[in-house]
Every structure is written in structure tokens, then in C-alpha cells.
């Protein structure tokens, strides 16, 4: 019999370890228990933060661009280009909540303009396909800022440009697409979106601001329908402050489940096909994880192939039966191994290695 083939496919441990760092720590634990094992790491993501890192870990080449952040400050944002001409953009790098303080004013004014600049950079680099991960965003402008960066004009009733941000869309009365970058019609745009999202309460917005944004985005959706004939009131279009809506109206962009889209780029299926044992994990395995999050999707696909799955997470609130339903045969929560959460956070890699050993020895 040949060496045991172990696939390690974790998501990020938010606030402590990237998915790639988590995979490395878990690999140490695997080799401590099975020194002869053949270990393969495929970091995973579901279209949110960590999408870019998963693409880079799979061999994509990083590029940087100086772009506008969610407000007026410029930021340096990284995006990636694969050898097959596929660009991977994580909009949070340009328009993310991590770049601003979540306040009412931020929620009303945050723009996707910088994400449009990243798309332009990818087009300039010759990308034939652009994958957009849209999780972790601060933007609330229905994707209008991104298209403005690509040449769209959005005008009020007097023909003047409306202010940036979601609130400004309340004044939008007309669009002028004459200057829109024609390359958008020549590239495949794929948006990784959770189709359970609708136009949602914005981060940092109180009730009055949410009402204002809902009205403004509703006006934007009506204007898009009038201008393009495309009804953007579809599942998933409201994710990330309505970011997909502008692209659904003006391009042939498609919305796709985030995990499926990203795992297709990272070669997860082939890695599963050649594995004997699968390990996965993330910062928290909880009820939210059951809504299409990466680790349980890894487990589901592994179980469908008859592969045993071991999970290690910072904390686990799912029941043993729920874990079993996903094919997970053993699971360890790091908070069960260490008394203080701060200790688990401070030395996350060490505890993740130890937790992996405990999970495998108890499986």
C-alpha cells in the first residue's frame, strides 16, 4: 500500500491566520501523526476575504495598483492574474470595510470606485476573464462607483454628476454609457456572490440611513431597468451594497456561488479525487457555516467521494449530528484545548498544529 494521501483544505482563521498559514500549521500536525503521509494543501475561500490568497496559493501572480479606497483616501490594492488570463479581484482590497471606520457617514458615502479601477488594471493587463470576490465590503453604491471608474456617467435631473456613494443614488435620474469601457463587453465577468443576500442593512448605518440607502438603491435599480432593460432585482444582486447590480445591467456578468467558483480556480476537485483523508477548518464552525461557507462545502464534497473528513476550528458550535451530516468523522475546537481565547489567538498556529494532532489521534 502506498503512502496515505492527505488533503488539507482550510479557510482562513479570521483575525489570526490566512488559509495558507492555517494549512501549513495543520500540515505540521498531520506529519507528527503520519510522518510518511503525502500532504497536499489547497487553501479555500467562498468569495469573501481570503479569495485572493487562495488564488495566489494556487499559483496566480500578484499585481498591485494604487486606487481610490471606499472614501477619498487612496490605497494600494493587490489583485492576481493566472497564466490562463483569468484575473482574480477581491473588492475588499479596494472597497473593504477593513479600510474605514464603520459609521453612518461611511455607510452613506462608501464607493466601489477603487474596485472599478482594479477591473481596469486587469483589462489593461490583458485579462480575458475576471473573477470578482465581493465579501467584506464597505461599498453601498450598487456598483455605480466601479462603473463610473470605467467610464459610466450618472446624472441628476439637471444633468450634473451625482455624488459618490449609495446616498447619492437617490438623486440619479439618468445614465450616460457612451464612455463606458468597451472592453467590458469582451471579457467574461464572474461574480462570486451568496445568492441568499438581498439589499441588506449596511454596516455602520442606523435605521434612518438604512431607509435612505434602501430608497436610493431602489431608485438605482429602477434607473438601470429603464436604461438597459435588465431587471437587477434578482437573488444575489444585493450583496456587497448591491455591487453586482450595475454589472448585471451593463455587462454579461454572471453571479455564481462563491465556493464553487473559487474552488474551480484552485483545483480542489482534482485534489479530492486523489486524497485518502481530508482536513478542513476555519475560525468558527457555526450556523453561518451551513450557508455555503467553504469548510462544510469541502466536507460535503469529500464525503460524496467516500472520504473521511476531520475538522479543526477555533471554536465549534455545531452539534455532533450536524458535523456528522457533513461527513465529518472527528472535530476539535481549539477553545476546548486552551483555557483563554486570547492565548488561542496569540499562538494560533501552534494551537492549530496541536489541535490537528488531537483530532487525528482521536479519529
Supply 312's cell numbers. 479543526
Nearest partner of 338 among 328, 346, 327, judged by Cα: 346
Distance of CA 35 to the CA centre of its chain: 34
Which runs of consecutive H residues, i.e. helices, occur in the chain?
19-33, 51-57, 92-95, 104-109, 113-124, 144-149, 207-228, 239-242, 244-250, 258-266, 268-273, 294-304, 320-325, 341-346, 348-362
- Mean pLDDT throughout 354-359? 96
Where do we find the cell 464597505? Answer: 138
Where do we find the cell 476539535? Answer: 332
Nearest partner of 167 among 205, 197, 193, 116, judged by Cα: 205
pLDDT of 40 > 50? The answer is yes
- What is the CATH code for 5-42+267-362? 3.40.50.10350
Same fold, 5-42+267-362 and 51-259: no
Q: Which of 14-18, 56-60, 198-202, 331-335 has the lowest mean pLDDT?
A: 198-202
The sign of the CA dihedral 171, 174, 178, 184 is: positive
Within 10 A of 3 (CB to CB), how many other CB atoms are there?
Answer: 12
- pLDDT on residue 196: 54
> Considering the entire predicted model, what is its pTM?
0.92
Digit-coded pLDDT (tens) for 158-191: 999 999 999 999 999 999 999 999 999 999 999 9
d(CA 273, CA 262): 17
- pLDDT on residue 194: 61
Digit-coded pLDDT (tens) for 250-292: 999 999 999 999 999 999 999 999 999 999 999 999 999 998 8
Digit-coded pLDDT (tens) for 14-33: 889 999 999 999 999 999 99
- Mean pLDDT throughout 186-212? 73
pLDDT of 4 > 60? The answer is yes
Given this structure, which CATH class describes domain 51-259?
A: alpha beta
Do the Cβ atoms of 94 and 75 come closer than 8 Å? yes
pLDDT of 200 > 60? The answer is no
pLDDT of 229 > 60? The answer is yes
Could you give the angle at the alpha carbon of 221 between the alpha carbons of 218 and 226, nearest 5°?
130
Going from N- to C-terminal start, the domains of the chain cover 5-42+267-362, 51-259
d(CA 349, CA 363): 21
Do the Cβ atoms of 143 and 191 come closer than 8 Å? no
- pLDDT on residue 126: 98
- pLDDT on residue 343: 82
Amino acid at each position: 500500500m502506498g503512502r496515505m494521501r492527505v488533503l488539507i483544505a482550510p479557510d482562513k482563521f479570521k483575525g489570526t491566520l490566512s488559509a495558507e498559514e492555517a494549512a501549513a500549521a495543520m500540515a505540521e500536525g498531520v506529519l507528527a501523526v503520519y510522518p510518511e503521509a503525502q500532504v497536499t494543501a489547497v487553501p479555500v475561500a467562498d468569495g469573501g476575504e481570503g479569495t485572493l490568497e487562495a488564488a495566489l496559493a494556487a499559483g496566480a501572480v500578484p499585481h498591485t495598483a494604487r486606487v481610490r479606497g471606499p472614501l477619498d483616501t487612496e490605497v494600494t490594492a493587490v489583485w492576481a492574474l493566472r497564466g490562463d488570463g483569468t484575473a482574480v479581484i477581491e473588492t475588499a482590497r479596494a472597497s473593504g470595510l477593513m479600510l474605514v471606520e464603520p459609521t453612518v457617514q461611511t455607510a452613506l458615502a462608501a464607493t466601489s470606485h477603487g474596485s472599478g479601477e482594479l477591473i481596469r488594471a486587469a483589462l489593461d493587463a490583458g485579462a480575458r476573464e475576471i473573477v470578482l470576490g465581493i465579501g467584506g465590503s464597505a461599498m453601498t453604491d450598487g456598483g455605480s462607483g466601479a462603473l463610473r471608474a470605467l467610464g459610466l456617467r450618472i446624472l441628476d435631473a439637471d444633468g450634473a454628476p451625482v455624488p459618490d456613494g449609495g446616498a447619492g443614488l437617490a438623486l440619479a435620474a439618468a445614465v450616460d454609457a457612451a464612455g463606458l469601457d468597451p472592453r467590458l463587453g469582451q471579457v467574461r465577468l464572474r461574480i462570486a456572490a451568496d445568492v441568499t443576500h438581498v439589499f441588506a442593512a449596511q454596516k455602520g448605518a442606523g435605521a434612518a440611513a438604512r431607509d435612505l440607502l434602501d430608497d436610493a438603491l431602489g431608485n438605482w435599480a429602477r434607473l438601470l431597468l429603464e436604461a438597459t432593460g435588465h431587471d437587477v432585482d434578482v437573488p444575489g444582486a444585493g450583496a456587497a451594497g448591491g455591487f453586482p447590480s450595475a454589472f448585471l445591467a451593463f455587462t454579461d456578468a454572471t453571479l455564481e456561488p462563491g465556493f464553487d467558483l473559487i474552488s474551480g480556480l484552485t483545483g480542489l476537485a482534482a485534489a479530492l479525487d486523489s486524497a485518502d483523508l481530508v482536513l478542513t477548518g476555519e475560525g468558527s464552525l457555526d450556523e453561518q457555516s451551513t450557508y455555503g461557507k467553504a469548510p462544510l462545502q469541502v466536507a460535503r464534497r469529500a464525503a460524496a467521494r467516500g472520504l473521511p473528513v476531520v475538522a479543526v476550528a477555533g471554536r465549534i458550535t455545531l452539534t455532533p449530528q450536524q458535523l456528522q451530516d457533513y461527513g465529518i468523522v472527528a472535530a476539535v475546537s481549539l477553545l476546548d484545548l486552551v483555557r483563554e481565547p486570547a492565548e488561542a489567538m496569540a499562538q494560533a498556529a501552534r494551537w492549530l498544529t496541536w489541535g490537528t494532532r488531537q483530532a487525528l489521534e482521536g479519529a
